[in-house]
Structure 1
């Protein structure tokens, strides 16, 4: 068979296949959305509201929700990905909060971190003196306040930005930043626990103050509903995709287990190929894959994305934030008011540092959560769960030397970094990039559009950031498809 004939047959097949999927759809451009996480689903909803209903969502995994995902652990559903509604009770309404709290009425619990000074454990056992610990926390907060004032004086372009660590050195005169075990764990709680990367990496200007909290409020609520936080994504999808009587999405416009491997684009349209050999044709494609996936070789673009786009993708960080759940035959840790969160002050920064107990969220489950990030996440992903279990047992027995600490019966270690469909948990804005690179990261390339929490103008790394990014990116596509305003303006680097 001649190559030209083969290509023609492939294109014809793609047209027929897509036409059958879009049967009954309204008139308008055809759009393929890559990914059924909150950004992809949000973008599809916004397109549908604008009358663009001929959409096809290709999801690589077997579920909707992306990094909002529950998993059954020892008889209860826990969140292996996003867990909190962050930014509540402020001047503006976090758009996720009313969906969680009023519409879906998902069980949620206010997280109170005011008692940390009472709950910092020494590496060799026992608690730090509360008054001394509070002094360290107060000093760290004072340095953070100074950093906030400094950030407000910097050029909006980002040209004078510096790392959080540089700011700390400037304000507290510690050449290496916080260095004692208790200083390090407080520092880890304030920054790594939020941004999943250390202060030496994270941009001051784009993290202090975090727009999420200055805009939406300082309160955070932990979602612990057996329906899962992913219910938010299913709810959004149900606004424009057909559902069954049981509420499950039953729409041919959503295709699961479709791993996109190649996106070809030209001035006339796009062709998307999946790992199972399927080929789809459309007028536009909206890529909601994670930043980590874009930095990998999972999806090949033909022609290759322009250098400015590739550079913008590589300049941002895909951080790793790992929530490890462990179950015990009995409780041995303190409970009650002010005991939900506790810290382990190791001489090795970030070593099983942040702990949470679930007296209210999962009563009688005997489950603890320990959070690790960055290098520790990558290290733990590459070792066996038994090794991780042994390390956790050693830490807990060091923390509670006078207690009968039984062996872990179950452990759940998510591996976001190793998973080729995610390659991390959320993006972080590192020192050295500014609004110019962000605009390039979000900018379309011809008929290829991009969305995801990493393209959120103010809230990257958060659920509401992913949701709002889907709307924003869809609006950019709508302006081109409906209004023929296809030029996306990127200001100069120091404008």
Structure 2
């Protein structure tokens, strides 16, 4: 390249940079209006940083907390439970849901599973037999918690949950019977959306959510939706009308961010409709799944350490399938809310829930699948899924007149380019060091989301607390000039 051309290009770059840094615009751009992004906005606002915009790709706030109409009800496509209630510490989400908003919630009692585990070809497995298998699995889990407490904090000695089971001589050849498979699935996949062979022992045993906040979980069945918690947080700093709808011009919906350019003294964000937003900082609150795609291009490319940290974590998939029937054919009464299908195919329509209390008279069932089954189901028609689920129910209840389902709701979080999954799962060997790298800012680009919550990833309260934590890091830089983010060595 000739020197004159090189100088000209430098002058163009300098002119563009001067235009960027001198442009009027919000001090902060928040990308994403899920719980973490909305929580971060409130923390910034509380600190006096109110000059910001929130760019949300969809036509609503809430992210993976999303109610939708189904069979005359509002049901939750994503997050449905407040998990971690009844302990010494108060879960902040439970405070808002239960005390402030007084949402209609129901305690979820799983103690009746031993008498509600169905055979693959119909009828119930003997209660005593199932109870003994569950008790054995509980013993092994408790032993795993004790073992996890002895491992080095760096994660260098971490192992899979499955490896821990083998060390305890539990299912030494793997869960080979249908009953052992469905119990194993209920204990691990149903919570983490991935199987024990890929789930970290150290990061899940014991689980901080239940250790700190309590063992109880409460199902949100309020027709206002679980997302009303997000709207409550947003309403504390975003302008609303008399109906409670957000009318604040700083919230911009249907703005799909495609590019984030960052400079030493500012950032520039471009959207798919060719709008350009400029600011001093940007807070990226999109899901881990989105970060692992090319939906958003970073310019310059994120440093290697950041890219590696993003791909060291898993974006799991948890699918709640709702089915509407013209009549009931399943047991009702105390201890029958949850029931299991012990199939010879692990994870095949395994965990069921009826809504006698939550949605009385609705004739609606919920079945949960995860991981590979979720991906398989997302790629087939709803009619195919409906036929499979009804076939399973007819096998479970051979003496009953099981009608065809009249309606079905199949969320497709994995196929949705704005989410690419439901929540993060920390794999084997990942610990505080990798978490610090995942959360760490890159220049003026900050990161938040449930995946950046060191102790509560995958949970609504994790997203809420992560938004506060990441905003605090930005505030320290913007207001106190404390911009260096220290990552302690992995083995320090």
Match 1:284 to one of 272, 276, 281? 281
Q: Is 2:85 aligned against 1:88?
A: yes
Q: Is 2:277 aligned against 1:306?
A: no
Q: Give the direction of change, closer, same or farther, for the CA distance of 1:322–1:173 in structure 2 (3 Å limit).
A: closer
Deviation at 1:157, TM superposition (A): 1.2
Structure 2 residue runs of 5 or longer lacking an equivalent are: 1-7
Instruction: Number of aligned residue pairs: give it.
Output: 484
Match 2:450 to one of 439, 449, 453? 453
SS of equivalent to 2:344: coil
Cα deviation digits, residues 135-154 of structure 1 (max 9, x gap): 00000000001100100100
Give the aligned partner of residue 244 of structure 1.
Answer: 241
Deviation at 1:491, TM superposition (A): 1.2
Q: Is 2:283 aligned against 1:315?
A: no
Structure 1 residue runs of 5 or longer lacking an equivalent are: 23-29
Distance in 2 of aligned mates of 1:58 and 1:52: 16
Further displaced range: 4-13 or 449-458: 4-13
Cα deviation digits, residues 253-272 of structure 1 (max 9, x gap): 00000000000001110000
Match 2:321 to one of 312, 319, 324? 324
Cα deviation digits, residues 245-286 of structure 1 (max 9, x gap): 111000010000000000000111000000000000000000
Check the 8 A contact 2:115/2:124 in 1, yes or no. Answer: yes
Distance in 1 of aligned mates of 2:217 and 2:151: 28
Structure 1 residues 160-179: aligned runs within 5 Å: 160-179=157-176
Give the aligned partner of residue 58 of structure 1.
Answer: 55
Match 1:114 to one of 111, 115, 119? 111
Report the TM-score, using the length of structure 2 for normalisation.
Answer: 0.96
Q: Is 2:276 aligned against 1:269?
A: no
Deviation at 1:352, TM superposition (A): 0.2
Give the aligned partner of residue 441 of structure 1.
Answer: 438
Give the aligned partner of residue 25 of structure 1.
Answer: none
Match 1:217 to one of 214, 229, 236? 214
Report the TM-score, using the length of structure 1 for normalisation.
Answer: 0.95
Give the aligned partner of residue 294 of structure 2.
Answer: 297
The RMSD of aligned alpha carbons is 1.7
Check the 8 A contact 1:154/1:160 in 2, yes or no. Answer: yes
Deviation at 1:7, TM superposition (A): 10
Structure 1 residues 392-431: aligned runs within 5 Å: 392-431=389-428
Distance in 2 of aligned mates of 1:111 and 1:358: 11
SS of equivalent to 1:115: helix
Check the 8 A contact 1:11/1:281 in 2, yes or no. Answer: no
Structure 1 residues 93-242: aligned runs within 5 Å: 93-242=90-239
Q: Give the direction of change, closer, same or farther, for the CA distance of 1:5–1:440 in structure 2 (3 Å limit).
A: closer
Check the 8 A contact 1:15/1:280 in 2, yes or no. Answer: no
Distance in 2 of aligned mates of 1:12 and 1:380: 49
Distance in 2 of aligned mates of 1:395 and 1:388: 11
Check the 8 A contact 2:413/2:420 in 1, yes or no. Answer: yes
Cα deviation digits, residues 15-59 of structure 1 (max 9, x gap): 87x64xx6xxxxxxx000000000000000000000100010000
Q: Is 2:466 aligned against 1:491?
A: no
Match 1:476 to one of 470, 473, 477? 473
Distance in 1 of aligned mates of 2:59 and 2:16: 29
Distance in 1 of aligned mates of 2:14 and 2:482: 32
Check the 8 A contact 2:159/2:202 in 1, yes or no. Answer: yes
